[in-house]
């Protein structure tokens, strides 16, 4: 089987095409045209004055993570690692420890979420068997200057949490 190749001749470039000055002037003209059009007709711009104006969040938007509490104020999480296992971004880090209550097997000594890696998919919330983690706060992550400020610790997650009235321990017959 033979392959047919079509050879195209390139046209000769003139002085204007070989230099960059013509393209530079065309780009500057387009930039200035848009700048002055938006400056004169201010009401037609799509830019929001951010601190004063905000876009409404969609109704299905989740928000930041939070850890739920038990009736005694302790964390509901039993450090089963289901949320970190199901996380596609690998942003959840849990260190488990033995609980002093014999009815509770484990608890998270450390529970960190790196919000720069998180894609807010909700898989951690769906995978949790004991309703310990939720993404329904409706608040957005605050801006930060360093990566350490974006990592949320167990205390931050618990401060956003509330008492969960869901029955823990599975279904009863």
Spans of all domains in the chain:
66-160
Residue 24 has pLDDT above 80, yes or no: yes
pLDDT tens readout for residues 34-70: 888 888 877 666 777 777 888 888 888 888 999 999 8
* HEC assignment per residue over the chain: CCCCCCCCCCCCCCHHHHCCHHHHHHHHHHHHHHHHHHHHCHHHCCCCCCCCCCCCCCCCCCCCCEECECCCCCECCCCCCHHHHHCCCCCEEEEEEECCCCCCCEEEEEEEEECCCCCCCCHHHHHCCCCCEECCCCCCCCCCCCHHHHEECHHHHHHHCCECCCCCCCCCC
Residue 164 has pLDDT above 80, yes or no: no
CB 93 within 8 A of CB 112: yes
Residue 94 has pLDDT above 80, yes or no: yes
Supply the CATH classification number for the domain 66-160. Answer: 3.30.70.3270
């Amino acid at each position: 089987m033979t392959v047919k190749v079509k050879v195209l001749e390139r046209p000769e470039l003139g002085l204007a095409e070989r230099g960059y000055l013509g393209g530079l002037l065309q780009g500057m003209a387009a930039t200035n045209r848009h700048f002055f059009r938006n400056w004169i007709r201010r009401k037609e711009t799509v830019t929001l004055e951010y601190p004063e104006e905000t876009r409404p969040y969609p109704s299905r938007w989740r928000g930041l993570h939070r850890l739920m509490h038990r009736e005694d104020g302790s964390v509901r999480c039993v450090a089963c690692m289901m949320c970190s296992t199901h996380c596609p971004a690998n942003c959840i880090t849990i260190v488990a420890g033995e609980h002093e209550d014999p009815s509770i097997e484990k608890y998270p000594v450390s529970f960190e979420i790196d919000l720069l890696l998180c894609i807010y998919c909700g898989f951690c919330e769906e995978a949790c068997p004991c309703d310990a983690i939720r993404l329904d706060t409706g608040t957005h992550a605050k801006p930060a200057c360093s990566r350490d400020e974006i990592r949320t610790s167990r205390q931050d997650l618990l401060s956003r949490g509330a008492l969960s009235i869901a029955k823990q321990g599975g279904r009863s017959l």
